[in-house]
Amino acid sequence: MNSKASHSEPNQTRSGRPARLSLADWMPKIVMAPTVIITLVCMYGYMIWTAILSFTNSRMLPSYKFVGFEQYERLFNNDRWIVALTNLGVFGSLFIIICLFLGVVLAIFLDQKIRAEGAIRTIYLYPMAISFIVTGTAWKWLLNPTNGIEKMMVDLGFEDFKFNWLADPDMVIYCLVIAAVWQASGFVMALFLAGLRGVDGDLIKAAHLDGASTFTTYRRIILPSLKPVFFSALVILSHIAIKSFDLVAALTNGGPGYSSDLPANFMYAHTFTRSQVGLGSASAMVMLGCVLAILIPYLYSELRGERHE
């Protein structure tokens, strides 16, 4: 509020011509208007439409015969949905925890003023630059028991070596975790590295003068000051996990059976190939609920923090 007033006032006094001023004043709003409209219609409008459809009996095309919570009831009676939701829990938590851990460790190692840091940083960050489809396809070949890592080890002479997680319904979800961690941990590292560089050097020097070891300095001083970075990483990673679709589509295509399905794949299959628009919308709303469950506490803490300042 304050900044806006201070911005327009000097303008007025300097130019002294109110007519041109109002155009200059309106310009940002006009430029922003399409974005605002698109966001309102295409994001929030369609969200509301999806919510409405989830309470109807829509099949192939949207219909507006309301059936209450019937679609949600069907959804939670569906074995495949339960598998998808459980998978999201396993995949999401492992993916976030491992990524955060690896990201922090890599960032701390890189922060030791080593040689060729730029090159190493690029190498770790690079997977983020390629799409999940590429990652999924490459890991599909690596993890395939007949032509990937297992075959290589057997050819090298380890005849009993077995690594067939991709074909094992109980283990296939961990294949998704491996590929996703490979892709995203470098990004988390970059986030934390930027945070580490922002820590006040005097603080660290002071800690060293007081006789704290490097480990203690990191644990007690540096990492706690990185809390905002930690929260940003958490939010980014969890929404990557919830909306994951392409990785599953490329790596396992939901298989074996539907054991590696995630909610986004369930939603796509039912809405677009099985003429179950109502059921698909209901599953989309549950996914939205998952995102909000993470986002609202985060926004709340962020906004409250700002007010305190």
Q: Quick one: which segment of 89-97, 122-130, 207-215, 268-276 binds other proteins (CB under 8 A)?
A: 268-276
# of chain residues touching other proteins (CB under 8 A) = 32
Q: Which residues in 58-117 contact other proteins (CB under 8 A)?
A: 59-62, 74, 77-80
What is the token pair recorded at 114? 């080593």
Torsion over CA of 108, 114, 120 and 125, rounded to 10 degrees?
Answer: 30
Q: What's the chain's Rg over C-alpha atoms?
A: 25
Q: To the nearest whole angstrom, how small is the minimum distance from the Cβ of residue 9 to other proteins?
A: 34
**Which string of x and - marks every residue 8-47 that binds other proteins (by CB under 8 A)?**
----------------------------------------
- Please answer whether residues 104 and 195 qualify as being in contact, where contact means their C-beta atoms are separated by less than 8 angstroms: no
Residue 251: CB atoms within 10 A of its CB come to: 26
Binder among 270, 280, 281, 284 for other proteins (CB under 8 A) = 270
Contact by Cβ (8 Å): 232, 191: yes
| Measured distance CA(222)–CA(193) in Å, rounded | 11
Q: Which residue of 8, 39, 131, 147 would you call a contact of other proteins, by CB under 8 A?
A: 147
Beta carbon nearer to other proteins, 164 or 232: 164
For residue 66, give the amino acid letter.
F
Stretch of 35-43, 200-208, 224-232, 264-272 lying at the interface with other proteins (CB under 8 A)? 264-272
Interface mask toward other proteins for 209-248; x: CB under 8 A? ----------------------------------------
List phi, psi (to 5°) of 170.
-80, -25
Which one among 57, 164, 225, 232 touches other proteins, defined by CB under 8 A? 164
157, HSE (Cβ side, Cα atoms, 13 Å): 0
Supply 228's token pair: 């905002």
Among 114, 119, 146, 210, binds other proteins (CB under 8 A): 146
Q: Which of 258, 280, 284, 285 binds other proteins (CB under 8 A)?
A: 258
Query: 102, 91, 81, 76: which is closest to 252 by C-alpha?
Result: 91
159 binds other proteins (CB under 8 A): no
CB of 242 closer than 8 Å to CB of 290: yes
- Residues near other proteins, by CB under 8 A: 59-62, 74, 77-80, 140, 144-147, 164, 166-167, 169, 252-253, 255-259, 269-270, 272-276
